[in-house]
């Protein structure tokens, strides 16, 4: 049957949702390109970690999440944030250190959170989000909210003690959490070959008695299929899972990376497996979209980004006198 | 328990008051209702009466600014032991409300200078160094007035106090005093101006008739010794001390220039002992003074350079003859005299400005008071006289400079005589 | 006689001076190994280890996985048993992940075992704010470790000291924690050639004055020195003490200066409360130097909040040169 050969995504989602997913991936890409351009023009302080090339992992992993669900994110978290529908303007405003930013200019790119939409925050500490995700799942279970928490983390984080401790606790308490490892082959300069004793990180699931799967992280449909199943399992009260999305960051680790640990060839090869091109191709081949639609999608994203940049640029800076607001409850507005 | 003497609140928005002068000294006996000290606030000046009978102890220094309600001294009953000023409970709890250290301040400030009450009853702000200096010298630090922030006693205050005490000690009969051979009636006290001496009264004296005259001479002037401490409060204290030593029931005071300012201060401190006050071109009524002229006189080391400056002191310069200049220079030949006067000028008139202000004192003096001033005065402008309150008579002399007692002795004597 | 080339050597950056020290130590002692994240081919997050990987290879320049607790612990275990590891934290903030091994193991092993073992490990911590890296990558946590008996804690402020203190640390039989302010890495200065040791526990009097004593650490020593130049133009002459070592602390240098000036100001980037300034102040208050104080002690430290991201906010929460100037003037001119 033709239908059984159809990719999971085409089978599982309506056209509108598929188009939306593509639109989000394009938006993430354009957003990060614009952030990169602003960074290079000196408008952004500090450092930033771009997820260009990893958009399918972010968007595919959030397909079956509902409003009540939570995610924890990482230093490479713009995609996760946008996948959950964050406001572009407030994100740029945060990059620009503005009072209208998601963290009122106090956190920057590495700490963006959108708590209203269930994003408990990016994290400057590798592995820092793992126990927090387990805690979020614990409260969902105790409070009976039915919420599932998706915990994003990188391959590098799987060697922190927090990873192992978190998976174990999630498993012994059967908590509704999905561990999504975005394996982009490197933790900064260290390849997983050198850093990690197992071939696939998903093998580590066995040590904590939970299902583990490794999928092509640049294939939107494959990601969605694996994570949807894990979310369903979590929601059904059957406990945690570990999904490993094999992907690649096309940019350096941060803006100061000189790519000495990998080859140009490797980067070029991965560029050919661009998740956006692949999803678009799939949607065209299944008649969900037409070849000509790309230009419109691009234009759409570009307009949104221009508006967001304008909003951010014209926003006020936080007041220096208010630097110590929000240290404790009761200081500052919220 | 000793009776606490506090800085009273005498004005609605008064936060603190300045002790202008004590009418009694530490160790003196006072009775309830006796005038104890004078205070000055932003708006008013007034006398404060003793709240009890006994011996005054630990009075804060004159010139100190004290918050209202804080003690300025204690009155001990006879025989009550007074080793330390008594401690006390601060009258306001607020003083002990402190911010929690390390508390995140809402405004994010971090390096705010710690503030605190200006004073705590029975406690004295003093730097550790000041305390150890006082301890080494064996005196109670509380007897000193601090000039640091919030009245903190600092090392320099201790050192100044030590210097003052020393100079007081070796000049117990501080100022040279000369008295006229005879005379009847209330005596007249004469005090000359800066860089002058008692001889400057000679012309006036011969016109003053038969009253007993007492001439004081400023430290480092005439026959008075040189004092180490030379600020206005020190001088005023020395004048008071000398005056007290004379044991007069009443006196008329006539002072010229700086001498005028000092006798005005005396009249304010000893109102009951003063019959009248005559101020000739007095200092202390405004900041301006001719610094160049002062400096010129101080610098001169021979009559050629002194003469031209002396001429500026009078309107009719022919009065300053060569022999007058030579006599004046003879008095200034001693290098130590010149140095002493220079130190004094530096303290009293820094940068050519009068560093003391006696307008408030003048406002308080109630005895008949008059001011005489030459309209051609080139040292201090006569219009300072206009700052006097209405009850003070003002006599402006045309064609006269800074030295009316020399330039127009008969006229000056007539004005004074008419009012004695 | 030193040759001409000896004399014409240019200035080195702070990062280069550390690298030179590592190179010298590795060259003279086979037991010295480097450990840390991305210190190999990447050259270190701040390019401190640079090309040492090329020179000494992966056996001696060891990239660890992102495993701070384990990595630091491995270095400690190796130090107990014959190696001389120099462990680099990518940011000092990540010491928090390794606190167990640092505080419960490295610091206490010699003592708990009655002197039977030594833990000659060196740990390097890129520290401080000013890079826009926000709350989890900008802290100054030296006082945390300064609170632990068994550790030694130093904060070099110049390239010369960065090299000399690191060489001392490597020779030291006990665990030495070195805090390197990230903004110092690119600063340059004269660095003596060859092997030399800057003694741990000795402060440096960088400038002599009489009006006040400024005790500063790390980058604040630089800022204070520069402020002191300006103060001198205004007639205020500061003794500027670069503390260099916070455990042990050079008590005598501080007390002698305070006895002379009577006024003390502490400048440090760590959070003001319960920080280095508290220790220095207490040290003076507990000593005879107290009797020489003429004014309250002033502490300029970090605000009671995490380091914010926004650049203006970030600057506002740690002492800057104008703050030092103003505080020094207030202190000397009797406004506090
Ligand atoms: C505890 C901790 N150690 C080290 C770092 C520095 N650091 C930031 S990102 C990173 C690499 C993380 O690798 P990975 O988890 O694979 O995420 P990726 O950057 O590849 O997305 C490192 C070492 C950190 N932020 N936190
Ligand atoms: Mg990675």
- One-letter-per-residue 3-state SS of C106-170: HCCHHHHCCCCCCCCCEEEEEECCCCCCCCCCCCCCHHHHHCCCCCEEECCCCHHHHHHHHHHHH
CB contact under 8 A, B111 and C327: yes
State mean pLDDT over C132-161.
98
Determine the average pLDDT of the residues in B223-248: 84
More confident residue, B304 or C311: C311
Write down the catalytic residue from C20, C137, C181, C314: C137
Radius of gyration in angstroms for the set of CA atoms belonging to chain A, rounded to a whole number: 19
pLDDT category, B42, cuts 50, 70, 90? low
What pLDDT, on a 0 to 100 scale, did the predictor assign at position B107? 40
For the CA of A127, the nearest ligand = 1
Report the nearest-CA residue for atom 22 of ligand 1: A188
pTM: 0.70
> What is the total residue count of chain C?
336
pLDDT at C301 over 90: yes
Summarised one tens digit per residue, pLDDT across range C64-117 is 999 999 999 999 999 999 999 999 999 999 999 999 999 999 999 999 999 999
| Average predicted confidence (pLDDT) for chain C | 96
| CA gap B75, B3 in Å, rounded | 5
Pocket test of ligand 1: the residue of C66, C68, C137 to mutate, having most ligand atoms within 8 Å of its CB, is C66
Q: CA dist A308 to A30, A39, A252, A302, B236, Å?
A: 12, 15, 25, 10, 76
Hey, is A36 helix, strand or coil? Answer: helix
Whole-number Å distance between alpha carbons of C66 and C63: 9
Q: How big is the A-C interface in CB pairs under 8 Å? A: 125
Q: Cβ–Cβ of A321/B108 closer than 8 Å?
A: yes
Measured CA to CA, the distance from residue A217 to residue C243 in angstroms comes to 52
Return the H-helix or E-strand segment holding C56: helix C52-56
Tell me which chain B residues have a C-beta less than 8 angstroms from the C-beta of A321: 107-109
The residue whose CA is least distant from atom 17 of ligand 1 is: A154
Report whether pLDDT(B343) > 90: no
Q: pLDDT at position B44, please?
A: 65
Q: Which ipTM value was assigned to this complex?
A: 0.93
Longest dimension (CA), chain C: 60
3-class SS of residue C204 = strand
Residue A56 CB neighbour total at 10 angstroms = 30
Does residue C279 register a pLDDT over 70? yes
The pLDDT-based confidence of B21 (bands split at 50, 70, 90) is: confident
More confident residue, B102 or A314: A314
Name the region of B281 (left: φ>0; alpha: ψ -120 to 50; beta: rest). Answer: left
Q: Per-residue pLDDT averaged across A233-254, rounded?
A: 97
Chain C residue with the nearest C-alpha to that of A260: C42
For residue A188, the ligand closest to its alpha carbon is 1
**Position B88 pLDDT exceeds 70:** no
Contact B291, B309 (CB under 8 A): no
B104 at the A interface (CB within 8 A)?
Answer: yes
User: Residue A172 contacts by C-beta under 8 Å, 6 or more apart in sequence?
Assistant: none
The structural domains of chain C, ordered by start, are 10-189 (3.40.50.970), 204-332 (3.40.50.920)
- Which of helix, strand or coil describes residue C214? strand
Q: Which of B225, B222, B232 is nearest to B200 (CA)?
A: B222
- Given a cut of 60, is residue B114 above it in pLDDT? no
User: What's the whole-number mean pLDDT along residues A118-135?
Assistant: 98
B92 pLDDT exceeds 50?
no
Cα angle B258, B260, B261 (rounded to 5 degrees) comes to 65
**What atom of ligand 1 comes closest to residue C137's alpha carbon?**
25
Helix (H) or strand (E) holding C269, with range, is: strand C264-271
**Distance between CA atoms of residues C133 and A119, nearest Å:** 21
Q: Which residues contact A255 (CB under 8 A, 6 or more apart)?
A: A39, A47, A48
pLDDT per position as a tens digit, B55-76: 888 888 887 888 877 888 888 8
> A247: CA distance to ligand 2 center in Å?
9
| Residue C103 in tokens | 């505080």
Q: Which of C290, C305, C330 sits opposite B113 (nearest CB)?
A: C330
Ligand 1 surroundings by CB, under 6 angstroms: A 75-76, 124-126, 154-157, 184, 186-188, 253; C 37, 66, 68, 90, 94, 97
pLDDT tens digits, one per residue of A5-17? 899 999 999 999 9
Pocket test for ligand 1, best of C68, C90, C95, C96 (most atoms within 8 A of CB): C90
Q: Is pLDDT above 80 for C176? A: yes
Q: What is the model's pLDDT at position C57? A: 98
Helix (H) or strand (E) holding C189: strand C188-189
Residue C248: cis peptide before it, omega within 30 degrees of 0: yes
Percent of chain A with pLDDT over 90: 93
A181 close to A247: Cβ distance less than 8 angstroms: no
What is the sign, positive or negative, of the torsion defined by CA atoms of C163, C169, C172, C173? negative
C319 compared with B113, residue with greater pLDDT:
C319
Residue C26 CA: distances (Å) to CA of A45, C20, C52, C86: 37, 10, 10, 10
Atom of ligand 1 nearest to the CA of C97: 1
For residue C17, how far is its CA from the centre of ligand 1 (angstroms)? 27
C181: annotated active-site residue: no
Average pLDDT over residues B150-154: 86
A81 contacts A35 by C-beta, under 8 angstroms: no
Please tell me which residue in C20, C37, C68, C180 is annotated as part of the active site.
C68
| Nearest C-alpha in A relative to C96 | A125
Rounded to the nearest whole angstrom, what is the distance from the C-alpha of residue C61 to the centroid of ligand 2? 21
Contact (CB<8Å) A318/C316: no
pLDDT band at A33 (very low <50, low <70, confident <90, very high): very high
State pLDDT tens for residues A81-90. Answer: 999 999 999 9
CB A61 within 8 A of CB A245: yes
Least confident of A187-191, A327-331, C135-139: A327-331
pLDDT tens, residue by residue, B319-334 = 898 888 888 888 888 7
A125 touches chain B (CB under 8 A): no
Residue numbers in B near C335 (CB within 8 A): 113, 149
pLDDT at C306 > cutoff 80: yes
Q: Which residue in A has a C-alpha nearest to residue B105's C-alpha?
A: A324
Query: How far is CA C63 from each of CA A126, A191, A254, B58, B63, rounded to the nearest angstrom?
Result: 16, 11, 18, 74, 73
A50 CA → ligand 1 middle, Å? 13
pLDDT bucket at C2, cuts 50 / 70 / 90: very low
pLDDT at position B113, please?
44
Query: What's the pLDDT band for B1 if we cut at 50, 70, 90?
Result: confident
* Helix C159-171 / helix C14-28 crossing angle, nearest 10 deg: 30
Out of A75, A111, A192, A245, mutate this one to test ligand 1's pocket (max ligand atoms within 8 Å of CB): namely A75
**Strand arrangement of the beta sheet that strand C298-302 belongs to:** C204-207, C238-242, C212-216, C264-271, C298-302
E strands in B212-347: 213-217, 251-256, 274-280
Q: Kindly report the nearest CA distance between residue B109 and chain C, in angstroms.
A: 7
Mean pLDDT of chain A: 96
Three-state SS at A55: helix
The answer to whether C137 is a known catalytic residue is yes
- Percentage of residues in chain A with pLDDT exceeding 70? 98
- Distance, in Å, from the CA atom of C34 to the CA atom of C44, rounded to the nearest integer, reads 11
- Mean pLDDT, range C179-197, rounded to an integer: 97
Q: Across the interface, do A124 and C308 touch by the CB < 8 Å criterion?
A: no
Shortest distance, CA A11 to any CA of chain C (angstroms): 39
Q: Give the strand pairing for B213-217 and B176-179.
A: antiparallel
pLDDT at residue B8, as a whole number: 81
Confidence tier at B348 by pLDDT (50, 70, 90)? very high
B107 interfacial to chain A (CB closer than 8 Å): yes
Q: Which residues contact C8 (CB under 8 A, 6 or more apart)?
A: none
Minimum mean pLDDT range among A27-36, A87-96, B382-391: B382-391
Neighbors of chain B with 3 or more C-beta pairs under 8 Å: A, C
C319 contacts in chain B (CB < 8 Å): 111
Averaged pLDDT, A67-74:
98
pLDDT of amino acid B101? 36
Hey, which of A78, A159, A187 would you mutate to test ligand 1's pocket, going by the most ligand atoms within 8 Å of its Cβ?
A187
Mean pLDDT within A109-113: 95
C15 C-alpha to center of ligand 2: Å?
Answer: 27
**Which tens digits make up the pLDDT trace of B288-298?**
999 999 999 99
- Round to whole Å and give the CA distance between C261 and B119: 26
Answer whether residue B172 shows pLDDT above 70. no
Q: How confident is the model at residue B173 (pLDDT cuts 50, 70, 90)?
A: low
pLDDT confidence of residue B84: 61
Question: What chains are in contact with C, requiring at least 3 Cβ pairs below 8 Å?
Answer: A, B
- Flag if A325 and B106 touch (Cβ within 8 Å): yes
C157 or B182: which carries more pLDDT confidence? Answer: C157
Whether C31 and C59 have beta carbons less than 8 Å apart is answered as no
Q: Which residues of B134-145 are buried (b: 16+ CB within 10 A; e: fewer)?
A: beeeeeebbbbb
The token duo for B75 is 């009155």
Question: From CA B170, how far away is CA B10, in angstroms rounded?
Answer: 39
pLDDT of residue B121: 54
Instruction: Tell me the pLDDT band of B117, cut-offs 50, 70 and 90.
Output: low
Strand C12-13, strand B71-76: pairing: unpaired
pLDDT of residue B89: 31
Q: Lowest-pLDDT range, B223-232, B314-323, C144-153?
A: B223-232
* Rounded average pLDDT over C305-331: 97
Helix or strand (DSSP H, E) at C91: none
d(CA C238, CA C266): 12
Confidence of residue B95 (pLDDT cuts 50, 70, 90): very low
Question: Could you tell me the end-to-end alpha-carbon distance of chain B, in angstroms, rounded to an integer?
Answer: 47
Q: Please tell me which of the candidates A320, A321, A327 has its beta carbon nearest to residue B104.
A: A327
Q: Has residue A261 got a pLDDT over 70?
A: yes
pLDDT score, position C78? 98
Residue B147 has pLDDT above 80, yes or no: yes
Beta strand extents in chain C (DSSP E only): 12-13, 32-36, 61-63, 84-88, 122-127, 152-154, 176-181, 188-189, 204-207, 212-216, 238-242, 245-247, 264-271, 298-302
CB contact under 8 A, A106 and C303: no
Domains of chain A and CATH, by start = 12-314 (3.40.50.970)
A220-235 and A275-285 are packed helices; what angle lies between their axes, rounded to 10 degrees?
90
- Residue C153 structure tokens: 């804690």
Q: Above 90 in pLDDT, residue B51?
A: no
| A60 shares contact with chain C (CB less than 8 Å) | no
Query: Confidence band (pLDDT; 50, 70, 90) for A62?
Result: very high
CA-to-CA distance for B366 and B354, rounded, in angstroms?
24
Is B81 a residue whose pLDDT tops 60? yes
Distance of alpha carbon B261 from alpha carbon C173, whole angstroms: 76
Separation CA B304–CA C61 (nearest Å): 88
Flag if B110 and C317 touch (Cβ within 8 Å).
yes
Mutate to test the interface with A, among C54, C65, C96, C314 (most CBs of A within 10 A): C65
What is the pLDDT, as a whole number, of residue A31?
Answer: 98
Domains in chain B: ranges and CATH: 1-105+115-121 (2.40.50.100), 124-170 (4.10.320.10), 176-419 (3.40.50.1820)
Which chains share 3+ C-beta pairs under 8 angstroms with A? B, C
For the stretch B101-112, pLDDT in tens is: 334 444 444 444
Per-residue pLDDT, C156: 98
Could you tell me whether strands C122-127 and B393-397 are parallel, antiparallel, or unpaired per DSSP bridges?
unpaired
The C-alpha atoms of residue B95 and residue C271 are separated, in whole angstroms, by 27
Confidence of residue A1 (pLDDT cuts 50, 70, 90): very low
Ligand 1 atom with least separation from CA of A49: 19
């Amino acid at each position: 049957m033709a239908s059984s050969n159809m990719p999971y995504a085409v089978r599982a989602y309506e056209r509108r949702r598929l188009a939306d997913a593509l639109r989000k991936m394009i938006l993430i890409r354009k957003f990060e390109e614009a952030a990169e351009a602003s960074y290079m023009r000196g408008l952004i302080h500090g450092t930033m970690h771009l997820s260009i090339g990893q958009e399918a992992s972010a968007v595919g992993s959030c397909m079956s999440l509902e409003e009540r669900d939570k995610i924890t994110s990482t230093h490479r978290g713009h995609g996760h944030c946008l996948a959950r529908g964050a406001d572009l303007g407030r994100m740029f405003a945060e990059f620009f250190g503005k009072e209208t930013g998601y963290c009122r200019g106090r956190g920057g790119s590495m700490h963006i959170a959108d708590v209203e939409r269930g994003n408990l925050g990016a994290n400057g500490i590798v592995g820092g989000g793992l126990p927090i995700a387990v805690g979020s799942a614990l409260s969902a279970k105790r409070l009976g909210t039915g919420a599932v928490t998706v915990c994003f983390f990188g391959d590098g984080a799987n060697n922190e003690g927090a990873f192992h401790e978190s998976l174990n606790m999630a498993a012994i308490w059967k908590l509704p959490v999905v561990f999504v490892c975005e394996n982009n082959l490197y933790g900064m300069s260290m390849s997983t070959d050198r850093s990690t004793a197992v071939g696939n990180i998903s093998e580590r699931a066995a040590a904590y008695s939970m299902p583990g799967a490794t999928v092509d992280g640049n294939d939107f449909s494959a990601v969605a299929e694996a994570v949807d199943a894990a979310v369903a399992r979590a929601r059904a009260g059957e406990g945690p899972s570990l999904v490993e999305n094999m992907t690649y960051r096309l940019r350096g680790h941060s803006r100061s990376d000189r790519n000495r640990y990998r080859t140009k060839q490797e980067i070029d090869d991965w560029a050919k497996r661009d998740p956006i091109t692949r999803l678009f191709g799939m949607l065209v081949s299944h008649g969900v979209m037409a070849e000509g639609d790309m230009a419109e999608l691009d234009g759409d994203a570009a307009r949104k980004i221009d508006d967001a940049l304008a909003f951010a640029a014209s926003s006020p800076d936080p007041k220096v006198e208010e630097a110590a607001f929000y240290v404790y409850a009761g200081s500052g507005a919220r | 328990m000793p009776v606490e003497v506090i800085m009273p609140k005498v004005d609605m928005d008064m936060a603190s008051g300045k002790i202008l002068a004590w009418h009694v000294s530490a160790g003196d006996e006072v009775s309830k209702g006796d005038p104890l000290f004078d205070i000055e606030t932003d708006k008013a000046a007034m006398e404060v009466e003793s709240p009890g009978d006994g011996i005054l102890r630990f009075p804060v220094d004159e010139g100190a600014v004290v918050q209202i309600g804080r003690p300025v001294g204690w009155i001990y009953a006879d025989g009550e032991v007074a080793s330390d000023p008594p401690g006390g409970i601060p009258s306001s709890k607020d003083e002990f409300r402190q911010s929690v250290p390390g508390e995140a301040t809402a405004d994010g400030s971090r390096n705010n200078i710690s503030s605190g009450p200006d004073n705590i009853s029975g406690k004295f702000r003093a730097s550790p160094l000041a305390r150890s200096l006082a301890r080494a010298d064996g005196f109670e630090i509380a007897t000193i007035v601090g000039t640091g922030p919030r009245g903190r006693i600092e090392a320099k205050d201790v050192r100044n106090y030590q210097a003052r005490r020393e100079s007081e000690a070796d000049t117990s009969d501080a100022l040279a005093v000369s008295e006229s051979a005879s005379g009847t009636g209330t005596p007249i006290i004469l005090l000359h101006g800066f860089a002058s001496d008692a001889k400057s009264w000679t012309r006036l004296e011969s016109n003053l008739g038969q009253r007993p005259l007492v001439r004081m001479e400023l430290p480092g002037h005439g026959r008075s010794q040189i004092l180490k401490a030379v600020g206005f409060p020190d001088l005023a204290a020395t004048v008071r001390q000398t005056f007290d030593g004379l044991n007069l029931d009443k006196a008329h005071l006539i002072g010229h220039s700086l001498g005028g300012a000092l006798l005005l201060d005396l009249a304010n401190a000893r109102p009951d002992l003063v019959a009248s006050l005559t101020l000739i071109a007095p200092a202390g009524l405004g900041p301006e003074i001719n610094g160049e002229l002062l400096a010129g006189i101080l610098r001169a080391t021979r009559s050629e350079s002194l003469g031209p400056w002396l001429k500026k002191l009078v309107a009719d310069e022919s009065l300053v003859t060569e022999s007058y200049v030579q006599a004046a220079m003879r008095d200034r030949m001693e290098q130590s005299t010149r140095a002493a006067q220079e130190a004094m000028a530096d303290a009293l008139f820094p940068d050519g400005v009068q560093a003391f202000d006696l307008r408030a004192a003048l406002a308080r003096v109630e005895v008949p008071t008059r001011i005489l001033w030459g309209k051609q005065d080139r040292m201090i402008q006569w219009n300072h006289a206009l700052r006097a309150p209405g009850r003070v008579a003002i006599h402006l002399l045309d064609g006269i400079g800074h030295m009316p007692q020399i330039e127009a002795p008969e006229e000056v004597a007539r004005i004074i005589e008419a009012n004695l | 006689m030193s040759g001409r080339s000896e004399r014409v050597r240019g200035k080195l950056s702070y990062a280069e001076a550390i690298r030179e020290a590592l190179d010298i130590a590795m060259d003279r002692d086979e037991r010295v190994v480097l450990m840390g994240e991305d210190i190999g081919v990447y050259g270190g997050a701040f390019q401190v280890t640079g090309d040492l990987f090329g020179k000494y290879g992966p056996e001696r320049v060891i990239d660890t996985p992102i495993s701070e607790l384990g990595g630091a612990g491995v270095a400690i275990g190796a130090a107990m048993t014959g190696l001389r590891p120099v462990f680099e934290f990518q940011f000092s903030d990540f010491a928090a992940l390794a606190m167990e091994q640092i505080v419960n193991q490295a610091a206490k092993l010699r003592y708990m075992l009655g002197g039977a073992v030594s833990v000659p490990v060196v740990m390097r911590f890129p520290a401080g704010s000013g890079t826009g890296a926000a709350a989890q990558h900008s802290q100054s946590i030296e006082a945390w470790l300064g609170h632990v008996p068994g550790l030694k804690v130093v904060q070099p402020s110049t390239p010369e000291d960065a090299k000399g203190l690191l060489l001392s640390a490597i020779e030291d039989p006990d665990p030495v924690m070195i805090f390197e302010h990230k903004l110092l890495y690119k600063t340059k200065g004269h660095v003596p050639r060859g092997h030399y040791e800057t003694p741990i526990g000795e402060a440096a009097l960088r400038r002599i004055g009489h009006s006040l004593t400024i005790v500063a650490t790390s980058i604040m020593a630089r800022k204070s020195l520069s402020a002191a130049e300006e103060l001198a133009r205004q007639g205020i002459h500061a003794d500027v003490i670069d503390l260099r070592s916070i455990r042990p602390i050079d008590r005598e240098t501080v007390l002698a200066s305070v006895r002379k000036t009577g006024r003390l100001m502490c400048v440090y980037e760590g959070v003001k409360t319960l920080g280095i300034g508290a220790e220095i102040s207490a040290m003076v208050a507990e000593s005879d130097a107290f009797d020489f104080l003429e004014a309250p002690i002033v502490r300029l430290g970090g605000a009671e909040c995490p380091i914010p991201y926004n650049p203006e906010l970030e600057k506002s929460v740690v002492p800057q040169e104008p703050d030092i100037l103003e505080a020094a003037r207030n202190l000397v001119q009797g406004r506090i």
